Amino acid sequence: MGISDPVIDEQTPAADFTIEQRWERYTDEEHQVWDTLYHRQIEMLQNRAVEEFHAGLGLLDLGAGGIPDLNVINPKLRELTGWTVVMVPHLVPDEVFFEHLANRRFPSGRFIRKPDQLDYLEEPDIFHDIFGHVPMLTLPVFADYMQAYGQGGLRAQSLGRLKELARLYWYTVEFGLIQRPEGLRIYGAGIVSSAGETPFSLESDSPNRIGFDLERVMRTDYKIDDFQQLYIVIESFQQLLDATQQDFTPLYQALSADTSRYSLTDLQSTDTVLQRGTQSHATGR
């Protein structure tokens, strides 16, 4: 599974799957990978990532050089929004993941990709998890949204609605865009941590881009192995938090009563269409 990391392998995870970071054990080569990725993305993200993302990087000083030390960033993050980052070996079971989020703990991988894997990896590493996700956790409204998602996840699991709820995470936390007066901006962690998808998500004429609608998102499948064919655009982070804090019971009932699901590329008459994509990337034409 994934990339081998001796500092993970030597530990027995706790009951909540956490391990110690043992920051002093990262090699120079590993710190170098962080720095290479960091500088590449910072360039790419000027005027593309939402302002609050850049602010979060600054508040936590994530560009100080090398892989961040949790003992340094956690006191700052806790002070700002009450969140902390914990280390986990690899992907953790859904209920463990949700339980951490519901308690304002963000589970991050410890390992970092190898120098010859800068652009592709199968599971989230510390660059994706900390550079991608943690800056937004400095923003109170987004911090609250992530906790509400974790709490919703625990409920969805008991109601058998995990698949639908996971789509919300995918289309917002991982691949979300936001409309700003100066133009579209990126806040999704899967995009900000990817050199290829950063310009693609905003500038390509291939993908569809539509406004946020919770039921629409929950009815729409996604692909994990290529750039997205559909991006969901929110108007504000408050919109996201409001949507998540409502009682999902009627929505889940509607999803059971009408089981129709939308294909990735079909637009619906009720969609707020920002761009009708050509899908040239997916079809190769």
Instruction: State the binding partner of 189 from ligand HBI, Fe ion, none, CB within 5 to 8 A by kind.
Output: Fe ion
Task: Candidates 118, 166, 264, 274: give the one binding ligand HBI (CB under 6 A).
Answer: 166
Residue number closest to Fe ion, CB atom:
189
CB of 270: closest distance to Fe ion in angstroms? 29
Identify residue 282 by its one-letter amino acid code: A
CB 262 within 8 A of CB 269: no
Task: Give strand pairing partners of 26.
Answer: none
Please identify which residue in 56, 68, 124, 207 interacts with ligand HBI, judged by CB under 6 A.
124
Q: Site map for ligand HBI, 83-112, x if CB under 6 A?
A: -----x--xx-x--x---------x-----
DSSP tag of 17: S
Buried b / exposed e along 45-77 (16+ C-beta atoms within 10 A): beebbbebbeebbebbebeeebbbebeebbeeb
Q: Which residues bind Fe ion (CB under 5 A)?
A: 124, 189
- Of 53, 169, 171, 248, which lies in the binding site for ligand HBI, with binding defined by CB under 6 A? 169
Smallest distance from ligand HBI to CB 32, Å: 24
CA angle (217, 259, 219) in 5-degree steps: 10
- Evaluated on CA atoms 76, 80, 83, 85, the torsion sign reads negative
The binder of 91, among ligand HBI, Fe ion, none, by C-beta within 5 to 8 A per type, is: ligand HBI
Chain positions contacting ligand HBI, by CB under 6 A: 88, 91-92, 94, 97, 107, 124, 166, 169
